[in-house]
Amino acid sequence: MIVLGIETSCDETGIALYDTDRGLLGQALHSQIAMHERYGGVVPELASRDHIQRVLPLTRQVLDEAGLTLAQVDAIGFTEGPGLAGALLVGASVANAIAFALDKPTIGIHHLEGHLLSPLLSADPPPFPFVALLVSGGHTQLMRVDGVGRYALLGDTLDDAAGEAFDKSAKLLGLGYPGGPAIARLAAAGRPDAIALPRPMLRSGDLDFSFSGLKTAVSTRVRAGLDGEQDRADLAWALQAAIVDVLVAKSRAALEQTGLTRLVVAGGVSANQRLREALTGARPAIRVYFPEPALCTDNGAMIAFAAALRLQAAREAGQPLPPAPDVFGVRPRWPLEQLAAV
Ligand code: KG4
Ligand code: ZN
């Protein structure tokens, strides 16, 4: 079964083809970062308009490169939520229009499920069950994952997400968008422990997070006056260290609480090198899995893959593929735990 995946939830148009027999057949991505950069963040209306211009040319490109036609696609997966309503509607409209015209089924995919399952696309995929640390621009969650759609929330952020702390602090430091990679680059020149920042909720005794205080601490330090590039780099180092320390401590606590020995880290912040090093060091009994570097941030491959897994499971359970759609919608807010197991 060949599945076309369409991701348009935020500032990346991602298109991919996944074959349940042969794996990933191809993918293409257009990032809107250059367009949003001058505004210091994503402008939703601009995002939607750009997705409109990109979805079909990228789809054509991926099909051409794979030597396939739309008629050979068996089903279409699209990101139904969570995300920006207008941006989601572009992907949903195109997916459902193509499907209706060609009489193929569609399946709406939860963006975070895409992230969560993306490490399964690597050469050495993690077996279920595992603990997942989901760290994206809008979410910071620890989940227990027992299978596709079998997700139990262990911990969540009470305010800002880790990616948001990177992005907002980068803005305070006058760095570009997205903030995570910019902070990481600046931190490379920072001196360890030259500036002290808090580790919010480190000892809260639960698996929840809070990062808005960290952003406030960065803001206070910036307002107190930074003396040159070294000070800025020291602050970037301190911020990255504080975020990484909290993420590592809570992930380890989640492993202890569940008794599981596999940790999957996914979402944009999983690209952070320091987080990777800190999570993989020193605990031989724990195995940590990351998505391939190109699949850490938003992409179409994870959506095509999640759609293929769900459709294949339905088929194996003897359920026919759903009919071509005549109605569709999007879910800008959509809790992951509401998903049905397969
Ligand atoms: O998963 P993603 O691409 O989009 C969402 O679903 O939100 O995650 C984007 C987030 C942004 O906050 C960005 O600053 C962060 O991931 N990010 C990073 C790095 N690369 C991206 N944060 C820290 N270090 C990185 N290398
Ligand atoms: Zn994402």
Residue closest via CA to ligand 1's atom 8 equals: 268
Q: What is the pTM of this model?
A: 0.95
Mean pLDDT of 130-153: 96
Ligand 1 nearest atom to the CA of residue 273, by list position? 26
Q: What distance in angstroms lies between residue 195's CA and the mean position of ligand 2's atoms?
A: 31
The two tokens of residue 68 are 């396939």
The torsion region of residue 315 among left (phi > 0), alpha (psi -120 to 50) and beta comes to: alpha
Ligand 1 atom 26: the closest Cα is on which residue?
272
Ligand in nearest proximity to the CA of 163: 1
Token pair listed for 139: 């979410």
Select from 166, 167, 186, 277 the residue to mutate for testing ligand 1; criterion: most ligand atoms less than 8 Å from CB. Answer: 166
- Which residue puts its alpha carbon closest to atom 16 of ligand 1? 268
Q: Quick one: pLDDT at residue 180? A: 97
Task: Give the number of the ligand closest to the Cα of residue 161.
Answer: 1
Read out DSSP for 46-97? HHHHHHHHHHHHHHHHHHHHHT--GGG--EEEEEEESS-HHHHHHHHHHHHH
> What residue ranges line ligand 1, CB within 6 angstroms?
10, 136-138, 163, 166-167, 178-181, 184, 267-269, 271-272, 297-298
Task: With cut-offs at 50, 70 and 90, classify the pLDDT of residue 282.
Answer: low
pLDDT digits (tens, 9 = 90+) for 293-333: 999 999 999 999 999 999 999 999 999 888 899 999 999 99
What tokens were used for 323? Answer: 């009919």
At residue 130, the pLDDT reads: 98
Q: What is the pLDDT of residues 65-76, one digit of tens each?
A: 999 999 999 999
- The closest-lying atom of ligand 1 relative to the alpha carbon of residue 83 is 6
